[in-house]
Amino acid sequence: MIQTFTYEALPIRVRFGRGTIAEAGDELSRLGTSRALVLTTPQQLEQGEMVGVLLGQAFVGLFAGAVMHTPVATTEQALIALREAKADCVVAIGGGSTTGLAKALARRTGVAQLVIPTTYAGSEMTPILGETEGARKTTIRSLDVLPETVIYDVDLTLGLPPALSATSGINAIAHAVEALYAEDRNPVISLMAEDGIRMLSAALPVLVSEPSDMEARTKALYGAWLCGCCLGAVGMSLHHKLCHTLGGSFNLPHAETHTVVLPHAVAYNATAAPEAMAAITRAMGTSDAGHGLFDLIKTLDAPQALSQLGMPQDGIKTVAELALENSYWNPRPITRDDILSLLQRAWRGERPQ
């Protein structure tokens, strides 16, 4: 039965297809901008230079210093580059690291953003920014950081290695999973969430064995877009709180951390969110949501233990304490002992309980 709900569509333009990166210049013109600073990670410098060529005279600089978790120090370096180039917009090409940097710059300067994702992170569809300073990661939600335009080009995901396709895809699935039991969930987002899980859970095993399969690449990117919409539209819960805490405190790799934690967070919430669990099992064709996700991750040969990611065992208590501070809403009450148990199983890579 459909209950009373609220749905707000975010003001963002999306272009999806193959070869759509060629339209970057036209999209900047639509925004009324003419001086673009291109953002990348050091590893994606060549892609950034390629975008610069496509932009022609609108290309005024390249900052290739984006890194995980959007450190404030990196943003300050990029601010200098933005001002020296006298840029009136940024073009971010890459995954969550470059998207996060673009958002951080927009928050401080109001600069327009064109984001071109090359992974399945989903951050480009959200008004959410997570920034790290010291060993603390803080998150804000504001339309000030929402990109104006996103170009999805399936061709750009062909270079994603199988391992990164797997973890990036599971990261995207996590957004949809938590949207299904979010406090402010609604029927529209729930439909998108279930379809996003269905698309990605079907595409990822294909991409691990056949990385150049275009049908699977298209399904995966489309699914990632749906999951990103979910992340941008409703609140997240325990899973995202744990991952942000782990990543900010121990500098763990973002997508891999989401991959390890997700089955355990889902199992934790299973009895408190039966409708969400039913949607997940329908989408994946499995009998149990948490175990189905765990088995999918194993099939993808992706990390299943926090210890594999460099998480120290003696940090588990610290994460449990931090997770209880300003904790997100969650369908099942969060207690210190329960979170300790969850984290210990995730650290060892055991089957979720």
Q: What percent of the chain is predicted at pLDDT more than 70?
A: 99
Distance CA 284, CA 199 (A): 9
Joined tokens for residue 118: 């090359």
Domain ranges for the chain: 13-157, 162-348
Three-state SS at 245: helix
Give CA–CA dist 233/4, Å, rounded: 16
User: For the domain bounded by 162-348, which CATH number is listed?
Assistant: 1.20.1090.10
Is residue 274 within 8 A of residue 186, CB to CB? The reply is no
Mean pLDDT for 217-233 is: 97
**What Rg do the C-alpha atoms of the chain give, in angstroms?**
19
- What is the rounded CA–CA span in Å between residue 219 and residue 209? 15
Judge if 13-157 and 162-348 fold alike in CATH terms. Answer: no
Q: How many CB atoms lie within 10 A of CB 237?
A: 25
- Assign domain 13-157 to a CATH class: alpha beta
User: Which tens digit of pLDDT belongs to each residue from 12-66?
Assistant: 999 999 999 999 999 999 999 999 999 999 999 999 999 999 999 999 999 999 9
What pLDDT, on a 0 to 100 scale, did the predictor assign at position 1? Answer: 61
Find tokens 């272009």 and name the residue: 15
Whether 111 contacts 146, CB under 8 Å: no
Mean pLDDT of all residues in 128-134: 90
CA distance 46 to 299: 32
pLDDT number for residue 8: 84
pTM of the full predicted structure? Answer: 0.93
Predicted pLDDT of residue 71: 94
Asked if 167 and 259 count as a contact pair (C-beta separation under 8 A), the reply is yes
Tell me the C-alpha distance between 248 and 25, whole Å.
Answer: 35
Complete DSSP assignment for 299-313:
HTT----GGGGT--G
